[in-house]
Amino acid sequence: MADIELKPLPQPAQTFSFTQLRQMFQTISSKTTKRDSSIMTYQVTVDPIGGDYRTINAALTAGKKRLFIRNGTYTEDVTITAGDVILIGENKESTIINGRVIIGPASNDTYVVGTVSTIAGSTIITGASTLWSANLAVGQSISIPRTNPNSMTKYKIKSVDSDTQITLEQPFPATMVAGTNYVVYKHLANYTVSNLTIKDSSGGGHILLFQYARDIIVNNCIIYNGDISASSNLTPLAITSGCVNVQISNVICNGKTNLTNYAIAVYHGGSTTQTYAERVNENISITNCSGYARAGFLVDWARGCNISNCYFEQASSSSVIQQTAGAGGMSTGINVSNCTFHFGAISCATTNLGVNVSNCTFNSVAITDLTGMAGQSFDLSKCTFNNNTIYGCGEVIINGRDVICIGNIVNANTTNGIRLTSNASRSIVSGNSVRDNAGTGILVDAGATSNIITSNASLGNATAQYTDNGTTTTAANNVVA
């Protein structure tokens, strides 16, 4: 019998303590459960062939608020009038709601009993004849009128300290107020809609609609008009009626192109008789979205709206930033950046303030549709319009005062390059490249006053390179040939 050779046992490359081993197993356990961890955060699962509930409405009717929705088609209209609701689909292409989704109450719930006093820079609001302990809650918003209704905004309540004192999250910036009326908006709060396709086949109205709501997240969804009649006029995603703190990202919104609708609309909700503070939508973020409709977006009665990194294919009309007349409405603090607009420009109404359009690309705006619209242009007032690329469009129109138009490329458009109308005054047009347009490169109409035209290159335009019919125009260092 041969001798057995005993070899030394191999030494481990690394040794671990008991604590290290426990941490390793905890990490492995966390990773293996993460695949389905989303389900663990919800109360119930909705599944058309099983699960806790077969329909979304059945789960909501039972008082469930955190829903994980399995793949399938749910043919139902969903109306949510309670707060703290989460709707998360299993897969945005395969989890389909065939119907409208309406989130928020049909009318505003407010509290207005008594009066308030505060001083500038304070977070403390003092009430007189108020009963706040039983009627207000943390997270609701208060508006305190000031001299200019357009400067009124909503302030979030951090704490309800007593019947006669509340604390705001941010200081009140206005001057001192004493014994004045106020409004607390008891909006429903905390909504998440994610990983869903929502389409409507009934033609009943906006497809995903938020109203009188706050703290909203819409992410990774597809929203579109389904097989509905040509007479239906729907906007896929609408934020209306005083919504506050809205984040929309990675959403595809497609609408009917032969109707007067927008891919995304942020607006007053149809009533201009109520106060601006009651209907204005505040702190809206729209990022990494795309839309195909007659026009890309509508912003009307909004304060603080940022639209960035989006693509809008506009069938025949322009995106609109405007103020509908009534109750002091105005859109302020609107920023549009790093977006692409195909077939359609941006119209900015003369009553808006603080509008910025920058680093965007606009192309092929001239198009004719069923209504005979053609040659869409840019109607700008009281805004900055910087570092954009505009080609194949109508013209860039400066139609108000205090417009800053700097560093744009305005090439091969169907009429003029940049035109300052008779309403243009105190505007700056500088550092633009204006080439090969079908009319005049830079045209200043009669009646335009006190504008500054400097350091532009206007070359190869068909009619003329620079024509000034205005008064007191300052022109210098322009290259024209």
Place of tokens 């839309």: 291
- Predicted confidence at residue 3, as pLDDT, reads 60
Mean pLDDT of 340-351: 68
Structure tokens at 57: 């409405």
45-52 CB contacts, 8 Å cutoff, 24+ apart: 45/69, 45/70, 46/70, 46/74, 47/72, 48/72, 48/73, 48/74
Distance of CA 226 to the CA centre of its chain: 23
Taking a C-beta distance cutoff of 8 angstroms, is the pair 322, 352 a contact? yes
- Predicted confidence at residue 89, as pLDDT, reads 96
CA distance 211 to 206: 11
Could you tell me the pLDDT band of residue 53, with boundaries at 50, 70 and 90? very high
Structure tokens at 152: 């009124």
Length of the chain: 481
CA distance 24 to 254: 47
- Predicted confidence at residue 321, as pLDDT, reads 76
The residue among 325, 432, 326 whose CA lies nearest residue 378 is 432
Mean pLDDT of 118-144: 90
The residue among 131, 120, 121, 119 whose CA lies nearest residue 165 is 131
- Predicted confidence at residue 147, as pLDDT, reads 47
Query: What pTM was estimated for this model as a whole?
Result: 0.77
List Cβ neighbours of 45 (8 Å cut-off, separation of 6 or more): 39, 51, 52, 53, 67, 68, 69, 70
List Cβ neighbours of 421 (8 Å cut-off, separation of 6 or more): 397, 398, 399, 445, 447, 448
Secondary structure in 3-state letters for 101-118: EEECCCCCCEECCCEEEE
Taking a C-beta distance cutoff of 8 angstroms, is the pair 211, 105 a contact? yes
Could you tell me the pLDDT band of residue 370, with boundaries at 50, 70 and 90? very low
CA distance 109 to 187: 7
Q: Is 434 helix (H, G, I), strand (E, B) or coil?
A: strand
The most confident of 213-217, 262-266, 356-360, 446-450, by mean pLDDT: 446-450
Taking 50 as the threshold, does the pLDDT of residue 34 lie above it?
A: no
Q: What is the pLDDT of residues 418-442, one digit of tens each?
A: 999 898 899 999 999 999 999 999 9
Q: Is 134 helix (H, G, I), strand (E, B) or coil?
A: helix
Q: Beta strands of 163-310 (E only): which ranges?
A: 165-168, 177-180, 183-185, 188-194, 197-200, 208-211, 213-225, 237-240, 244-254, 262-267, 281-287, 290-293, 295-300, 302-308
Taking 80 as the threshold, does the pLDDT of residue 19 lie above it?
A: no
CA distance 327 to 272: 6
Taking a C-beta distance cutoff of 8 angstroms, is the pair 140, 184 a contact? yes
Q: What is the pLDDT of residues 86-129, one digit of tens each?
A: 999 999 999 999 999 999 887 778 888 999 999 888 999 999 99
Taking a C-beta distance cutoff of 8 angstroms, is the pair 373, 345 a contact? no
Q: In b/e form, how buried is each residue of 152-165, taking b as 16+ CB within 10 angstroms?
A: bbbbbbeebeebbe
Mean pLDDT of 166-186: 85
Residue 422 CB coordination number (10 Å): 14
Mean pLDDT of 170-194: 85
Q: Beta strands of 38-170 (E only): which ranges?
A: 44-47, 50-51, 66-69, 72-74, 78-80, 85-89, 95-98, 101-103, 110-111, 115-118, 124-128, 141-143, 155-162, 165-168
Taking 60 as the threshold, does the pLDDT of residue 379 lie above it?
A: no
φ, ψ for residue 357, nearest 5 deg: -120, 115
- Predicted confidence at residue 32, as pLDDT, reads 37
Taking 60 as the threshold, does the pLDDT of residue 229 lie above it?
A: no
Structure tokens at 377: 């242009």
Taking a C-beta distance cutoff of 8 angstroms, is the pair 260, 294 a contact? yes
- What string of DSSP letters covers 340-381? EEES--EEE-TT-EEEEEES-EEE------TT---S--EEE-
The most confident of 148-152, 227-231, 282-286, by mean pLDDT: 282-286
Between 315 and 152, residue with greater pLDDT: 315
CA distance 71 to 415: 51
List Cβ neighbours of 71 (8 Å cut-off, separation of 6 or more): 89, 90, 91, 94, 95
The residue among 217, 305, 219 whose CA lies nearest residue 267 is 305
Could you tell me the pLDDT band of residue 293, with boundaries at 50, 70 and 90? confident
Could you tell me the pLDDT band of residue 307, with boundaries at 50, 70 and 90? very high
φ, ψ for residue 203, nearest 5 deg: 75, 25
Distance of CA 51 to the CA centre of its chain: 35
- Predicted confidence at residue 155, as pLDDT, reads 83
List Cβ neighbours of 136 (8 Å cut-off, separation of 6 or more): 111, 157, 160, 166, 184, 186
Distances (CA, A) of 435 to 95, 340, 422, 452: 49, 20, 23, 19
Taking 80 as the threshold, does the pLDDT of residue 35 lie above it?
A: no
